């Protein structure tokens, strides 16, 4: 399902944000140091969603590179304004109106996320379910930096499970949304940044850029190549530290990882993370991380959540249902589950990691 051109990781704290310099200034410095009409590589760094965005553009004229960097930064900034789940912006207005059952006009920027989320919620049997924002908030993950939290009472969890909010509870009529469940609350935080990456890549192509990489948090998308070579992407280990393997990406691919280490807090010696199983109302315990490779970053992020929840016993069937062809799942024992198609593409660094290969994911029953 392509993302139309219209106009998701650990979030950094305020002290870390102050370390990030102006991205456009970095572009200007690199461009001014280039004496040729076409720069071999121009990089930039800026910040949105309390995270750092790194952009690399190759084989374009400096003037076009500067224009492209400005477009990318504006795309991320606009989406942060409209879709930041922790600000009093459009997302807050949407979440106030959905439980009322009254129809209302939604911002254009959110509609592709609604449509994509409804599709992948349905395909995954609601293992991917951004409609459980109230459950996420109950666990304390509705703030920028969750801390000083404790597990919510069991009766509060059960009450939300009985309400069973789903993406299918939202009716969409062109620009109008209408909620059909008073417990609806959207939380797109795991997929907003990948969505911004997809929009930015589409805009780069409109500008004639053929070789680029955009990376933020635990997701990236690359198009073209790196001076005739593929982009080399490190795949981190299940606990978020160290490198399990590297993957060469060339053409148009996204690599997105979701891990139990992304956003968490500790209470009474137990770590609780934000990847909640919609069926139990509690953080998933059998999975440490999931990496998905797919042409679109938003789809990869949504699938990674669904597969994380599915866990080591069910991920393969869910991946087939979603049409995902490249998956790495690290379970709570440290075993790395992956399909043979991706295994063939990896250069494994951590030779001590136990591997468990699945049957092939590609095949006639894989949806297009």
Residues 163 and 204 in one domain: no
Range of the domain at 63: 1-85+188-217
Q: What confidence score (pLDDT) does residue 142 get?
A: 77
Q: Kindly state whether residues 30 and 114 are assigned to the same domain.
A: no
Statement to judge: residues 182 and 192 lie in one domain: no
**CATH number for the domain harbouring residue 107:** 1.10.3980.10
* The predicted structure's pLDDT at residue 269: 87
Question: Do residue 103 and residue 154 come from a single domain?
Answer: yes
Same domain, 114 and 60: no
Backbone conformation region of residue 164, classed left if phi is above 0, alpha if psi is from -120 to 50, else beta:
left
336 token code pair:
């790395």
In angstroms, how far is CA 350 from the centroid of its own chain?
25
With beta carbons less than 8 A apart as the criterion, state whether 73 and 23 touch: yes
Confidence (pLDDT) at 17: 37
pLDDT attached to residue 362: 86
Q: What are phi and psi of 92, to 5 degrees?
A: -65, -40
Domain count, the chain: 3
**In terms of domains, do 207 and 226 share one?**
no
Quote the CA–CA distance of 313 and 308 in Å, as a whole number.
11
- What CATH number is associated with residue 275? 3.10.520.10
Does residue 235 contact residue 244 with C-beta atoms inside 8 Å? yes
Mean pLDDT of the chain: 87
**Residue 344 — φ and ψ, nearest 5°?**
-65, -25
Q: How far, CA to CA in Å, does 9 sit from each of 118, 219, 259?
A: 22, 8, 8
Task: Show the tokens assigned to 56.
Answer: 């690399």
Burial of residue 349 (number of CB atoms within 10 Å: 0-12, 13-18, 19+): middle
- Please identify every stretch of the chain with a pLDDT value under 70, giving residue numbers as ranges: 1-40, 144-148, 364-368
At 297 the three-state DSSP class reads: helix
Q: Residues 50, 9: one domain? A: yes
Q: Using one digit for the tens of pLDDT, what is the confidence trace for 202-239?
A: 999 999 999 999 999 889 999 999 888 999 999 988 87
Record the tokens describing residue 99, joined without a space: 């439980």
> Quick one: pLDDT at residue 147?
63
Residue 29, pLDDT score: 33
Indicate if 308 and 344 belong to the same structural domain: yes
Shared domain check, 93 and 56? no
The b-or-e profile of 141-178 (16+ CB within 10 A means b, else e) is: bbeeebeeeeebeeeebeebbebebbbebbeeeeeebb
Same domain, 198 and 287: no
| Tens digits of residue pLDDT in 24-60 | 434 433 433 333 444 468 999 999 888 899 999 999 9
Whether the Cβ atoms of residue 186 and residue 98 lie closer than 8 Å to each other: yes
Which tokens go with 91? 């997302």
Round the CA-based radius of gyration of the chain to a whole number and report it.
20
For residues 144 and 45, state if they share a domain. Answer: no
Q: What's the pLDDT at 83?
A: 86
Asked whether residue 272 falls in the same domain as residue 241, the answer is yes
């Amino acid at each position: 399902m392509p993302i139309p051109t219209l106009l998701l990781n650990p979030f950094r704290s305020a002290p870390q944000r102050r370390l990030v310099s102006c991205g456009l200034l970095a572009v200007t410095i690199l461009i001014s140091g280039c004496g040729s009409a076409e720069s071999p590589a121009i990089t930039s760094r800026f910040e949105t969603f309390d995270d750092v965005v790194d952009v690399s553009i190759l084989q374009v004229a400096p003037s076009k590179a500067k224009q492209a960097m400005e477009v990318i930064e504006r795309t991320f900034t606009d989406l942060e304004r409209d879709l930041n789940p922790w600000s009093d912006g459009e997302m807050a207005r949407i979440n106030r109106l959905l439980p009322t059952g009254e129809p209302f006009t939604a911002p254009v920027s959110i509609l592709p996320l609604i449509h994509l989320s409804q599709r992948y919620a349905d395909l995954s049997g609601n293992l991917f379910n951004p409609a459980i924002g109230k459950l996420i908030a109950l666990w304390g993950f509705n703030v920028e930096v969750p801390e000083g939290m404790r597990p919510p009472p069991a009766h509060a969890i059960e009450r939300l499970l009985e309400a069973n909010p789903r993406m299918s509870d939202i009716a969409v009529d062109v620009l109008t949304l209408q909620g059909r469940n008073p417990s609806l609350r959207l939380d797109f935080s795991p997929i907003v940044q990948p969505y911004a990456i997809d929009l930015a890549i589409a805009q780069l192509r409109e500008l004639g850029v053929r070789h680029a990489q955009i990376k933020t948090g635990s997701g990236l998308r690359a198009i073209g190549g790196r001076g005739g070579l593929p982009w080399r992407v490190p795949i981190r280990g299940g606990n978020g530290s160290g490198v399990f393997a590297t993957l060469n990406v060339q053409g148009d691919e996204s690599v997105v990882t979701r891990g139990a280490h992304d956003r968490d807090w500790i209470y009474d010696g137990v770590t609780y993370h934000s990847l909640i199983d919609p069926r139990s109302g509690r953080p998933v315990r059998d999975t440490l991380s999931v990496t998905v490779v797919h042409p679109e970053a938003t789809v990869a992020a949504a699938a990674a959540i669904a597969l994380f929840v599915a866990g080591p016993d069910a991920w393969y069937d869910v991946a087939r249902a979603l049409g995902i062809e490249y998956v790495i799942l690290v379970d709570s024992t440290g075993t790395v589950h992956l399909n043979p198609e991706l295994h063939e593409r990896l250069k494994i660094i951590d030779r001590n990691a136990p591997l468990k290969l699945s049957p092939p994911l590609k095949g006639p029953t894989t949806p297009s």
